[in-house]
Amino acid sequence: MSTQYICAIDQGTTGTTVIILDQDLNVCARVNQEFAQIFPKPGWVEHDPEAIWKSTLDTILAAQKQANIDPSQIKAVGITNQRETTVVWDRKTGAPVHNAIVWQDRRTRGQIQQLVDEGLEALVQSRTGLVLDPYFSGTKIAWILDHVPGARQRAQRGELAFGTIDSFLLWRLTGGEVHKSDISNASRTLLMDLHKGEWDEQLLSIFEVPEEVLPTICGNSEILGEVRDIPGLKDGTPICGMAGDQQAALFGQTCFNKGEAKCTFGTGAFLLMNAGYEVPTSDFRMLGTAAWKLDGKITYALEGSAFIAGALVQWLRDGLEFFSSAAEIEDLASQVESSDGVVLIPSLAGLGAPHWNADARGIIWGLTRGTKRAHIARAALEAIALQNVDILKAMESDTGAPLQVLKVDGGASANNLLMQLQSDLLNRKIVRPHMTDTTALGSALLAGLSAGIFEDLDAIKENWQADATFNPSMNEEQRQQLLKGWKQGLARV
């Protein structure tokens, strides 16, 4: 049998990556292209959808050429994406009516607070599994419709379409023929009934989103549409795997069983635990979300999100100019044996789970005249890890079962010092896979399942390989001292 290839499109917050894999999960090509971040006002974050699209086209073609294969050899396309980021476009022309409002954006916190004041949070959380926060798509859609002249009227007439980035890419890849969103992305909008996997009329009314703009909700491993006029891909190639980046990473880490968990270290840090076939509940405001839908059956996940992880390193690089490349933080932080009492609270875009403080701002606390850049760099790595301690403790309380092993992935998981700190502060074993691009891998696996390239979940799990393991080595006194400093820092936010 000739070699079969899968094209995995990973559309992230700071750039787009396309990976081409063969049926044995060998990476045959990997191409990344960054695009501009737009900050119109403090707390506002936007992307140009056309820049996203251009980066997608460029990386698809470059990856196909790098793999040195004919487009006809690519048998399936998978999509994974930054979630919650919101695009509204003209159904006739395909042109966006406004910049995409990014998941990090906080402009709608006033609307969110109004809904909280109206006593709607309990209803929304029970129906969607989510908390009321500007993070999610619902209020972003309404903001665009209310701030672009005539947009709400056009939306009600069916002239406009809404989508998270999965929907936008699917629309463009199919030449405007398909308007769908997979259930994992739809579950992040505040508009979907998590129990039913369907759009909810009452939620649409609460968030003032007209039904006419919504995509059809579909599963994660099925034929969603066919490629049309895309350089590097053959017309008719099926797009048959799609999932939000964090759910795709959970799938790519082969966390197929209830209780298995992963943490992705990207722009933010996202810890997901497979919750099985029942909608999870949380006493600590962890999120319930759809992990994936296979063969008509929904698997759920419990999720805790820290908004800032890799973005903190970027800020130290670009904002404070501590170093010229993000990879340098490991060497800088390793120059000192501890952060020497320096505590960094990385709430540069509010605080996510389990705190959910949209108005929180970042602080650096505990400075002395002896503080050096290396202490702040180490405190930054500790902060990324300490956020996950709060999340995991909440998840363990919700589930009543301690996690034994946490799988990790994402760009920052390559930082060995960070991974060791994460193991030390969690007091848990950390396992990093051979392929850390697990978001792209997850979408490729979902596409490969649908295309018949992979037989079943067991066959996929057999091919999963670990790259490195980190075990706790920090003494309890030091661990507790860092945890205490973190709590004191949080109290000052």
CA dihedral 261, 278, 12, 361 (to 10 degrees): -80
Contact between 406 and 391 under an 8 Å Cβ cutoff? The reply is no
Q: What is the pLDDT of residues 452-491, one digit of tens each?
A: 999 889 888 888 888 999 999 999 999 999 999 999 988 8
Q: How many CA atoms lie within 13 A of 374 on its CB side?
A: 10
Mean pLDDT, all residues of the chain: 93
Q: What percent of the chain has pLDDT over 70?
A: 100
Predicted local distance difference test score (pLDDT) of residue 85: 96
Q: How many CA atoms lie within 13 A of 417 on its CB side?
A: 19
Q: With bands split at pLDDT 50, 70 and 90, how would you rate the model's confidence at 285?
A: confident
Instruction: Please name which of 241, 286, 294 lies closest in space to residue 261, comparing C-alpha atoms.
Output: 286
The Cα–Cα gap between 371 and 318 comes to 20
The Cα–Cα gap between 292 and 297 comes to 8
Q: How large is the angle between the packed helices 373-399 and 310-318, nearest 10 degrees?
A: 160
Q: What is the mean pLDDT of residues 118-136?
A: 93
pLDDT at 255 over 70: yes
- Joined together, the tokens standing for residue 392 give 């995991």
pLDDT at 63 over 60: yes
Q: Which of 172-181, 327-336, 349-358 has the lowest mean pLDDT?
A: 349-358
What domains lie within the chain, and their CATH numbers?
5-244 (3.30.420.40)
pLDDT at 284 over 90: no
DSSP reduced 3-state for 72 = helix
More confident residue, 278 or 206: 206
Q: How large is the angle between the packed helices 416-426 and 373-399, nearest 10 degrees?
A: 50
Predicted local distance difference test score (pLDDT) of residue 376: 96
The Cα–Cα gap between 100 and 245 comes to 17
Contact between 405 and 425 under an 8 Å Cβ cutoff? The reply is no
Q: What is the pLDDT of residues 22-47, one digit of tens each?
A: 988 899 999 999 999 999 998 899 99
- Joined together, the tokens standing for residue 212 give 């006419």
DSSP reduced 3-state for 458 = helix
Q: What is the mean pLDDT of residues 314-337?
A: 92
Contact between 379 and 367 under an 8 Å Cβ cutoff? The reply is no
Residue type, 384: I
Q: With bands split at pLDDT 50, 70 and 90, how would you rate the model's confidence at 403?
A: confident
The Cα–Cα gap between 165 and 8 comes to 14
pLDDT at 1 over 60: no
Instruction: Please name which of 419, 395, 387 lies closest in space to residue 486, comparing C-alpha atoms.
Output: 387
